[in-house]
Amino acid sequence: MRKRIVGGLAILAMAILVVFARSPEIAFERHTIDLGISETCAIGDFNGDGRPDIFSGEAWYENPTWTRHEVRHLKEYGTYLESLTDLALDVDGDGRVDIVSSGWHAKRIWWSRNPGKPGAMWEDHTIDEGYNVEFAFLVDLDNDGKAREILPEFGGNGPTVWYEILAGGKFQKHIVSPQNFGHGIGAGDVNHDGRTDLITPQGWFEAPADPRQGEWKFHPEFKLGSTSFIYAIDLNEDGLPDLLTGNAHDYGIYWMEQRPDHTWVKHDIDRSWSQPHALTLVDLNGDGRKDLLTGKRFMAHDGNDPGEREPLGIYWYEYRPSADHKTVEWSKHVIDYGGRAGGGMQIPVADVDGDGDPDFAVGGKSGLFLFENLTKGARRR
């Protein structure tokens, strides 16, 4: 009998270890790229040499030496640069990676054309103007498997819209609603019908069969407050997509559990730090589940937001749903803390050093940094 009890306890202990085991820490090496104030960054091959470069604000930085190439001039608004979003995209189809940008103070969305000539300045082309733009994202709203549609979040009395790229660098504006629904925007398949829906802090718009012409039905099922990007992802793996986001100008990242009766239950992930303005989903540990990569934005509102003067940090969170799909366990991993690097407005991920694992970059008023993943060894030369 005693042997059976001991054996049973051993099996139980093993089961607990399996359920609550967390992944090993991932070693990242921080590289300082620029100590300027740009809060944006994008990753793309801007000179066509096959290496991913970094773009931020007025310049792109050449891999692997990170030589700075200034290609445009941006206005300064106090402690802010004109651009609060930089998105890497070949807009005009000429094979060169351009940059799509947006700005709150500038009240416009525009793209800067990459001429493909060393030393040449990039020409700006307006996509839309007249409204403050908090941020913008590349998402797949036409359901073709490619994230090439531009989804901005307008402030003030701006509408809820998305932009489709047409031939020759032109854009088609699609109005989902004549109004916006506050700070935050997102996209994902909320009702599991295979279409990309549009998510706001006050509810979600159900995508029609034809996203270009059909009516987007609004479902006012929740109130999230001022958020970061809002992801739709089935975190507890019960077959119903949940929401994942953060309080962009306050403390906390959290997920909203979707119930079968279309009610939503909030679950906090971490409320120990503030300003998670940029969130990126990426599988960092290779377990097949997307992890949450995020960090504290530096002085988003010049010290007027909760916790703005507290130490900067960059973190990743992994999750595991329980066997009964009723709970989700989260494990926090600290990548960097107490230095100059913060989450900024964007955290793009790519294999920058060519060694087969995901690296990432962050920008901010405190500087531009590359975090090299050391999992698979030294960088490619």
pLDDT (tens digit per residue) in 176-213:
999 999 999 999 999 999 999 999 999 999 999 999 99
CA–CA gap between residue 139 and residue 141 (Å, rounded): 6
pLDDT at 294: 98
Weakly modelled stretches of the chain, pLDDT under 50: 1-20, 381
What pTM does this model have?
0.93
CB 282: neighbour CB atoms within 10 A?
16
Tell me the sheet residues that pair with 62. 67
> Rounded to whole angstroms, how far apart are CA atoms 40 and 347?
8
Q: For 112-159, how does the pLDDT look when each residue is reduced to its tens digit (9 = 90+)?
A: 999 999 999 999 999 999 999 999 999 999 999 999 999 999 999 999
The pLDDT value recorded for residue 21 is 66
Residues 6+ apart with CB under 8 A from 366: 35, 298, 299, 312, 340, 341, 342
Angle at 296 between CA 40 and CA 70, to 5 degrees: 20
Q: Tell me, what's the pLDDT at 38?
A: 93
Q: Please identify which residue in the block is written with the tokens 């470069």.
A: 53
Residues in CB range of 221: below 8 A, 6 or more apart: 203, 204, 262, 263, 264
